[in-house]
């Protein structure tokens, strides 16, 4: 099955689950966001709409269990109910923004999720899950800052490198969201996407959706 000469990896009637933080959550309904009870106002909903439009012969059920404010340790606490119990065929994970961001606010150092813990917990979650999946997608965290020497941008890039490492380790499709944003930010200011360098507007979420779909061969 092809669209504009591009293949896609899905089989008919598969389930694609997105899990992550506020960028994934984006106001989705509880307990599980679905097409008819709201996937939220962000990239997950855009992905669902585009998949429905461009591969109508392949029905994909998209689910959203993103939770605002989550770090990888929060994912760990709800992984069974919000991932494993839903038995997805495909899983997409984007986590790490809050793991980094909380290191730059007033949270005590003892409660922060450093890169070593981030990698350890993330790996353990993927190890519990990968064999049950037909496909896995790992999306990097990002920071909408063009100065690559900015302390938070530097740390976010480091967590992105860990995500890429895990993608190789677990045979996952890798989505470099930072690179997708950097391409846009070479031409337009950060303010055109968001006010806080983290939570994007509609065009920002469409950049995420396109990066996800391009990585999967749907464009």
**Catalytic amino acids?**
22, 196, 199
C-alpha span between 149 and 192 (Å, rounded)? 21
- Helix, strand or coil for residue 193? coil
Q: Tell me how many degrees the CA angle 158-190-106 measures, rounded to the nearest 5.
A: 55
Residue 182 buriedness (CB in 10 A; 0-12 / 13-18 / 19+): middle
Residue 194 buriedness (CB in 10 A; 0-12 / 13-18 / 19+): middle
Q: What are phi and psi of 10, to 5 degrees?
A: -85, 150
C-alpha span between 88 and 22 (Å, rounded)? 21
Left if phi > 0, otherwise alpha if psi is -120 to 50, otherwise beta: which for 204?
alpha
- Helix, strand or coil for residue 202? helix
Judge contact between 66 and 26, C-beta under 8 A: yes
Place of tokens 């996937």: 39
């Amino acid at each position: 099955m092809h669209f504009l000469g591009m293949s896609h990896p899905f089989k008919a009637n598969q389930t694609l689950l997105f899990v992550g933080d506020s960028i994934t959550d984006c106001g989705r309904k509880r307990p599980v966001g679905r097409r008819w009870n709201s996937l939220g106002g962000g990239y997950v909903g855009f992905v669902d709409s585009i998949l429905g439009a461009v591969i109508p012969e392949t029905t994909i059920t998209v689910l959203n269990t993103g939770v605002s404010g989550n770090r990888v340790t929060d994912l760990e606490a709800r992984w069974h109910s919000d991932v494993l119990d839903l038995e997805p065929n495909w899983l997409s994970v984007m986590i790490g923004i809050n793991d980094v961001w909380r290191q730059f606010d007033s949270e005590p150092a003892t409660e922060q999720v450093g890169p070593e813990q981030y990698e350890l917990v993330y790996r353990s979650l993927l190890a519990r899950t990968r064999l049950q999946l037909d496909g896995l997608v790992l999306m990097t965290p990002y920071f909408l800052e063009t100065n690559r020497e900015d302390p938070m941008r530097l740390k976010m890039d480091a967590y992105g490198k860990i995500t890429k490492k895990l993608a190789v380790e677990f045979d996952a499709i890798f989505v470099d969201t930072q690179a997708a944003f950097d391409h846009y930010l070479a031409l337009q200011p950060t303010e055109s996407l968001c006010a806080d360098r983290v939570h994007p507007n509609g065009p920002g979420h469409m950049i995420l959706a396109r990066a996800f779909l391009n990585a999967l061969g749907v464009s």
